[in-house]
Amino acid sequence: MANRKHVVLLNRGMVVWNKWRQENPGIQPDLSEAGLHGANLTLIDLREAKLSGSDLREATLDECQLSRADLSGSDLRKATLLLTNLSEADLRGANLSEADLTNTILTSANLTGADLTGTDLKTAQFCKTIMPDGSIDNRDCLRGYE
């Protein structure tokens, strides 16, 4: 269950939230099972946040910092995650159907059992990414070195 204080802070917007994160780097935000359907979370710092089981349908998570976040079992249907950092994120069992992951970083992300039906992954960056079937995608590990 989400920490009520964390949800209130998040609802106050990016400036308030990110300032709180800077002032409290040792706190792991708990937004698990939060109802964030359609929320605009652009530029929000959600590094290492607990978002498991959250309703993020149609949410805007553009340019978010979601590295090492727990998004397991979350509903991200039709969400936009343009230029979002999902490195080392736990997306096991997440529903990402019809989500837009244009230019999203998925380095070492775990997508085991995730639903990627209709998801735009054309320009997403993969390196050591665990795909829904358990295979490892390393297509971009050498990008920039070729």
Q: Per-residue pLDDT averaged across 116-137, rounded?
A: 94
Q: What is the pLDDT at residue 142?
A: 66
**Crossing angle for the helix pair 4-11 and 14-23, to the nearest 10 degrees:** 130
pTM above 0.85, yes or no: yes
Element (H, E) at 8: helix 4-11
Average pLDDT over residues 87-113: 97
